[in-house]
Chain A
Amino acid sequence: MSNQWLEREKWFDASEVEVRTGINRRDFLKFCTGVAATLGLSGNAGLAIAEAVTNKQRPPVIWLSGQECTGCTESLLRSYHPTVEQLVLELISLEYSETLSAAAGHQVEENRRRAMEQYKGQYVLVVEGSIPTKDGGIYCKVADKTFLHHVEETAAGAAAVIAIGSCASWGGIPSSGPNPTGAVGVPQVVTDRPLVTVPGCPPNPYNFLATVLHLLTFGKLPALDEKLRPKFAYSRLIHENCERRAHFDAGRFALEFGDAGHRQGWCLYKLGCKGPETYANCPQILFGDVGSGSWPVGTGHPCFGCTEQGVGFTKAIHALAHVKNVEPPAHFPRIEEEQGRGVSAGTAAFAGALGGLAVGAGAMAVRDMRKEEATAQKSDKAEG
């Protein structure tokens, strides 16, 4: 393994990336390996990613923003090891982004149109924000066209679509009741393109980056769950890896913010933590690159389930979570558990032997008694 690693390292030339991104080779490889780890892949995959990244043919990306707060872009920009905005912007060819494009107005719209034609069937579409559908989608317009129209038009020529954030994934905050704009997520609008959703409010930028790099490296989307979320990030309940789980198991719960239990870092379930019904890898990869404990539960706030449709922005923040890790209940005694020792071959043989002995002895006694009776009768007759 190590030989292969060395060989490939020699063969692998990152100088172009170094120039392009201003990251040194060592940090770059570290980054790729980190992404591979997020994806749950091996170190070799890290190299594969590095190879893909160094490919001069950067994939064109069109980034559309609808009903959103730009939180997804903001959190992505605040990713550090290394400065991801640099990496992403240099790795990919960002053809259109309302937040990041230097150009504006007709110029940038023009560029999008050109990119769509030039890279038809090859570009990646990233959608941020929900799509209003009520009244023909008039509640969100860009360049005099509804956002709904933009998404449908751009998705038609996209190689793959990534819905970033909960709004794009299922509607998010804008879709909360009474949902005045009829906001929906990308999956409700785009049904005929490869689609991945990266929910979260905001989503963990590394989940997004890992998805993009998976796409770059392997030319396909990562394995997805039934809600189109990449499994590497969304297959486990927060509850399963929560650093406060031991307190849950031991029945140590914070009852109020700032009470003794809360100050001691006890479980936040009673405060409404949605960890038990929310699938995300927050406890494993944390958030915001500022060290341990840097995620909502780590800071003492109950998870509110932002990655989970029907939980985040739907359930009251302090309502109790439905505990999903017991469905089906695996580690519970059943109502009727097998208990005690029944008859074994040994005991059966022993008891049987005893019974046989008794029956045999009885039978012999009876036979003997009969004999005696017979002789007695004979002697009686003889006497008589």
Chain B
Amino acid sequence: MSAYKPLGGRLATLPVILGSLVAMVALYYMAQRFMHGLGSVANINQGYPWGIWVVYDVVVGTGFACGGYALALAVYAANRGQYHPLIRPALLASLFGYTLGGFSAFFDMGRWWQAYNIFLPWHMNLNSVMLEVGLCVTAYILVLWVEFSPTLLTQLRQRGLLRWVNRFMFVFIAIGMLLPTMHQSSLGSLLIAAGYKVSPLWQTPLLPALFLLSALAMGFSIVLFEGALSTWSFRRPSESHLLAPLSQVMVALLVAYLLLRGVDLTLRGAWGPAFAGDLKGNMFWLEQLLFAVPLFVLASKQRRSRSSWLFIGGVAMLLAGSLYRFNAFLVGWNPGGNFHYFPSIPEIIVSLGMIAIEVVGYLIIVKKLPVLHSADHAKAAA
């Protein structure tokens, strides 16, 4: 049963060409960064040591890349096999998201030439959340490659190796479900050590739980988003019938998230800054609003079944999750003193370049490798 097929078609489409151009410009600025230091490209400063290269490319980017994780949980842990057709594209997106997230972490590293120190046992500080994130993300990138390897191996006709990989695949699948649970929650834990610098709207011991939930929500919504988008852009048959039940999971996640958030804020008595009417307060409400939109969209069965609504819900939720992470790391960040940060244009272009590489790579790979489930199979499963 070769249900997965390369999409085929012309490679040099307009998005690919445009994306490549953006990526080239980004690579130019990245070269600048390596020649003249981080400050020559990015607007980061001593009060905002982490700019969008960390917060977008790593923290939000890996959240986007949680599609593989979320679906793996649905397919394997919850034994919902019908989602299986969605797994490969999600895995591919995760692979790109995480690999580029890891790469971003690397080029954002001030002393990248010593990056390997994090893997040397005598250097490791087991108290450090960063160590956990670093090791765990690295491990997960490797796991993702292994998980994705059957696609490659099929194409390369490496049958022996493929069989061997598949025999132990369950181990990687299990680890692939554990690792994001660990590091996605740890991305939140990173902020606990920053204490007062993070606004009480976001600073809580529940950060790991909230980040984990937001990772799952973003993971599922990226599946919705990509599903709806690939259906539309590649003119493939609708996958709504697959995506709609997923959205029920999302509703549950959203309710859990919002409940946890509300209870946490109430227990800590931290609602005050929400009504300050300043940027932090307004962004907080925008964030909650974005979380509420998918709840509204997905709560209705009728809306759930339409890919346009699924798309809107997915996007809103992606934005909600991203904004939550942006807020926690940047908007809610006050290092004391009078520090300002807004990404510079070159800095934004580098991040755009990462997205461009991701999109271009995805577009090329789905055309060349058997990633997308064949349309017939999708219909048949309906």
Contacts and interface: CB of A to CB of B under 8 A. Distances in A.
A/B touching: CB–CB < 8 A: yes
Interface of A: 335-344, 346-348, 350-351, 354, 362, 365-366, 368-370, 372-373, 376
7 residue pairs, one from A and one from B, having the closest CB atoms: A342-B340, A340-B45, A369-B308, A343-B342, A336-B338, A340-B340, A340-B339
Contacts of A351: 342-343, 348
Contacts of A342: 340-342
Given A343-B340, A347-B343, A351-B348, 6 more contacts: A336-B337, A339-B340, A350-B345, A366-B311, A369-B228, A369-B311
Interface string B11-35: 0000000000000000000000000
12 contacts: A337-B338, A338-B338, A339-B339, A340-B47, A340-B48, A340-B341, A341-B43, A341-B344, A347-B343, A351-B343, A362-B311, A370-B308
A342 B343 CA distance: 8
Contacts of A335: 337
Contacts, number: 70
A369 B348 contact: no
B75 interface: no
A339 B48 CA distance: 10
Nearest to A349: B345
Given A340-B43, A347-B348, A372-B232, A362 B307 contact: no
B229 interface: yes
Contact of A362 (B43, B315, B337, B343): B315
Contacts of A338: 338, 340
Given A340-B48, A365-B232, A369-B308, A350 B340 contact: no
Contact of B348 (A337, A339, A350, A372): A350
A382 B228 CA distance: 24
Nearest to A363: B312
Nearest to A367: B308
B342 A339 contact: no
A301 to B, nearest CB: 44
Interface in B162-212: none
A341 to B, nearest CB: 5
Nearest to B44: A340
Nearest to A366: B308
Contacts of B46: 339-340
Contacts of A370: 308
Contacts of A336: 336-338
Interface string B88-127: 0000000000000000000000000000000000000000
Given A340-B43, A340-B339, A373 B348 contact: no
B306 interface: yes
A365 B225 CA distance: 11
A373 B308 contact: yes
Nearest to B229: A365
B138 interface: no
B63 to A, nearest CB: 17
Contacts of B345: 346-347, 350
Contacts of A344: 342
B238 interface: yes
B352 interface: yes
Nearest to A338: B338
